[in-house]
């Protein structure tokens, strides 16, 4: 089946009304809030907003958490462990959604996401908190892929760039209030409530989105896609174990560090090559490059973001509330970039958006890196992080739509999983390597420790800028 016929294939009868025929294509509603999409759009955007709040709030609170639980050496693992566990959830959700429909993995994802947050909120030590974050990451992996499959199954091609832009725009309100609220909670109620308050909202989000998908079953031929599910899950488990081993090895010294790091890197490369599309690790043209760019952009941005609150609290003595405000502005930039991207659906070739986005991320990393010197104005770093957010707002919707453009309906779950896997694997690897160098250099120089991490992020952004031209689609517009 060629890509054009895949895009024109009618939507499955999902209890939302039959999809339009070819003759009715011109009548497809242009609004995400048309009657047949309204409840699903509201519920899905609410769920994304919840995940956004959690991500920004936890990032803001983590310096206080690490100090309270005496876990600064495991700081990066608190983020990387979540991403590593999400790999298993993403692999499971991709095949599961193709074979049985996206409802079950979405429901299970919300449950595990909430349970992980409760465990983290009640954690007596940093180890327990990381365990809760691992459970939360597994649930988040299920949620992220299941939502992408829902988009591919329910929304027509004309609306996909808009719903992905709406997902990114769902970060606006959490971005504005999330870090500030999180900082206030940490200062006045304690960091545990940053975790414990979110599960209640997760139940409400599930109540909004799941009824709209009640009759959304598997695609024709999708049931055959789970024949190698067990093998893929084993590769996913190896990926997760390898990423966790990278974090552990980075905390060791001497021969023990090398004895852990070298096998972990080899196992990670092998497992990633089995989970990602063929050619993704070498950025082959087409879908492999789409997956690679998602991971490269995410790795550059989130590695930098993870250390912004710590940098501002240690080097600039800012409170959690004020440090979180910088994350707020970056997320607003991301949402603004996505808003712009959603209104230029028939403008330029996709690689132009990707090149502009990667260049903006690179500039943002450089601006944040200058803040390690106290003489550098704080406003420079803040402005740079807004620019980086704008770049990510251009990158993510473009890559998401490209993935669906290059995927026949019966493979949208697998390819959605691959897109998120690239995101998680690249970011978790960047956090592991950056966190290891950070821990090793902190005893020598705080400035050097931060700069090494930012150098890795900058290298990723520049490599993404060079690879963006390798994106290839049949259509001239996305």
Computed over every residue of the chain, the mean pLDDT equals 78
User: Tokens 């999809």 label which residue?
Assistant: 19
Which helix or strand (DSSP H or E) is residue 14 part of?
A: none
Q: How far apart are CA 190 and CA 211, in angstroms?
A: 35
- Tens-digit pLDDT profile for residues 332-383: 888 788 878 877 754 457 888 899 999 999 999 999 999 999 888 999 999 9
Centre a 10 Å sphere on the Cβ of residue 377 and count the other Cβ atoms it contains.
10
Mean pLDDT of 293-300: 93
- The verdict on residue 320 lying in a domain is yes
- Tens-digit pLDDT profile for residues 166-181: 776 676 666 667 667 7
Q: What's residue 211's pLDDT?
A: 74
Q: What's residue 30's pLDDT?
A: 61
User: Tokens 């779950």 label which residue?
Assistant: 413
Q: How far apart are CA 103 and CA 124, in angstroms?
A: 34
**Collapsed DSSP state (helix, strand, coil) of residue 406:** coil
Mean pLDDT of 138-164: 80
Percent of the residues in the chain that have a pLDDT greater than 90, as a whole number: 15
- The verdict on residue 19 lying in a domain is no
Q: What is the largest CA-CA distance in the chain?
A: 69
- The verdict on residue 29 lying in a domain is no
Whether 71 shows a pLDDT value over 60: the answer reads yes
Q: How far apart are CA 122 and CA 124, in angstroms?
A: 6
Q: What's residue 172's pLDDT?
A: 64
- Tens-digit pLDDT profile for residues 56-66: 677 778 888 88
- Of the two residues 325 and 392, the one the predictor is more confident about is 392
Write phi, then psi, for 58 (nearest 5 degrees): -65, -40
Q: Tokens at residue 316, please?
A: 């600039």
- Of the two residues 164 and 301, the one the predictor is more confident about is 301
Band (464; pLDDT cuts 50, 70, 90): very high
- The verdict on residue 340 lying in a domain is yes
Q: How far apart are CA 420 and CA 236, in angstroms?
A: 13
Which helix or strand (DSSP H or E) is residue 384 part of?
A: helix 378-405
Q: How far apart are CA 465 and CA 243, in angstroms?
A: 26
Q: What's residue 477's pLDDT?
A: 40
Q: Tokens at residue 440, please?
A: 């090793």
User: Tokens 């959490």 label which residue?
Assistant: 174
Task: Name the most confidently modeled range: 36-40, 238-242, 368-372, 470-474.
Answer: 368-372
Which residues, at least 6 apart from 289, have a Cβ–Cβ distance to it below 8 Å?
280, 283, 467, 470, 471, 472
> Which pTM was predicted?
0.68
Q: What's residue 9's pLDDT?
A: 25
Centre a 10 Å sphere on the Cβ of residue 321 and count the other Cβ atoms it contains.
17
- The verdict on residue 167 lying in a domain is yes
CATH number (domain holding residue 258): 1.20.1250.20
- The verdict on residue 22 lying in a domain is no
- The verdict on residue 341 lying in a domain is yes
Phi-psi region of 160 (alpha: psi -120 to 50; beta: other; left: phi over 0): alpha
Band (280; pLDDT cuts 50, 70, 90): confident
Q: How many residues does the chain have?
A: 478
Provide the domain limits for residue 162: 34-213+221-470
Number of domains in the chain: 1
Task: Name the most confidently modeled range: 44-53, 195-204, 258-267.
Answer: 258-267
- Of the two residues 323 and 474, the one the predictor is more confident about is 323
Q: What's residue 313's pLDDT?
A: 83
- The verdict on residue 2 lying in a domain is no
DSSP secondary structure string for all residues of 137-184: HHHHHHHHHHHHHHHHHHS-HHHHHHHHHHHHHTTHHHHHHHHHHHHH
- Tens-digit pLDDT profile for residues 401-456: 888 777 776 666 677 778 877 887 888 888 888 887 887 787 788 888 889 989 99
**Listed residue (77, 429, 406) closest to 281, CA to CA:** 429
Band (395; pLDDT cuts 50, 70, 90): very high
């Amino acid at each position: 089946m060629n890509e054009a016929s895949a895009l024109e294939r009618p939507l499955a009868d999902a209890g939302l009304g039959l999809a339009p025929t070819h003759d009715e294509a011109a009548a497809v509603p242009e609004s995400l809030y048309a009657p047949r999409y309204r409840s699903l759009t509201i519920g899905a955007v609410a769920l994304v907003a919840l995940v956004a709040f959690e991500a920004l709030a936890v990032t803001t609170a983590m310096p206080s958490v690490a100090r309270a639980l005496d876990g600064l050496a495991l700081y990066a693992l608190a983020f990387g462990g979540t991403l590593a566990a999400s790999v298993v959830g993403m692999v499971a959700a991709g095949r599961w959604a193709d074979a049985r429909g996206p409802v079950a993995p979405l429901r299970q994802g919300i449950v595990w996401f909430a349970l992980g947050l409760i465990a983290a909120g009640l954690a007596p030590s940093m180890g327990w908190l990381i365990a809760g974050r691992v459970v939360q990451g597994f649930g988040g992996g299920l949620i992220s892929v299941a939502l992408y499959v829902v988009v591919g199954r329910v929304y027509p091609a004309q609306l996909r760039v808009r719903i992905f832009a709406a997902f990114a725009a769902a970060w606006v309100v959490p971005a504005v209030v999330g870090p500030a609220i999180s900082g206030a909670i940490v200062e006045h109620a304690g960091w545990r409530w940053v975790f414990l308050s979110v599960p209640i909202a997760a139940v409400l989000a599930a109540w909004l989105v799941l009824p709209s998908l009640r009759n959304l079953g598997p695609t024709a031929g999708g049931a055959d896609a789970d024949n190698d599910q067990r093998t893929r899950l084993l590769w996913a488990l190896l990926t997760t174990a390898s990423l966790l081993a990278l974090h552990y090895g980075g905390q060791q010294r001497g021969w023990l560090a090398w004895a852990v790091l070298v096998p972990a890197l080899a196992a990670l490369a092998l497992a990633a090559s089995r989970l990602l599309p063929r050619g993704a690790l070498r950025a082959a043209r087409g879908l492999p490059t789409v997956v690679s760019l998602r991971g490269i952009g995410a790795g550059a941005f989130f590695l930098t973001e993870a250390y912004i609150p710590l940098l501002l609290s240690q080097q600039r003595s800012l409170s959690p509330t004020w440090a979180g405000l910088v994350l707020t502005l970056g997320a607003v930039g991301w949402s603004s970039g996505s808003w712009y991207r959603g209104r230029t659906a028939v403008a330029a070739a996709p690689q132009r958006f990707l090149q502009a986005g990667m260049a903006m991320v690179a500039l943002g990393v450089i601006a944040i890196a200058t803040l390690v010197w106290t003489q550098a104005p704080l406003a420079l770093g803040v402005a740079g992080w807004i620019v980086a957010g704008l770049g990510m707002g251009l990158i993510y919707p473009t890559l998401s739509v490209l993935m669906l453009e290059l995927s026949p309906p019966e493979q949208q779950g697998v390819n959605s999983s691959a897109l998120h896997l690239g995101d998680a694997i690249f970011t978790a690897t960047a956090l592991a390597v950056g966190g290891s160098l950070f821990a090793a250099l902190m005893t020598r120089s705080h400035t050097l420790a931060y700069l090494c991490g930012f150098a890795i992020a900058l290298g990723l952004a520049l490599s993404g800028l060079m690879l963006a031209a390798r994106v290839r689609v049949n259509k001239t517009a996305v």
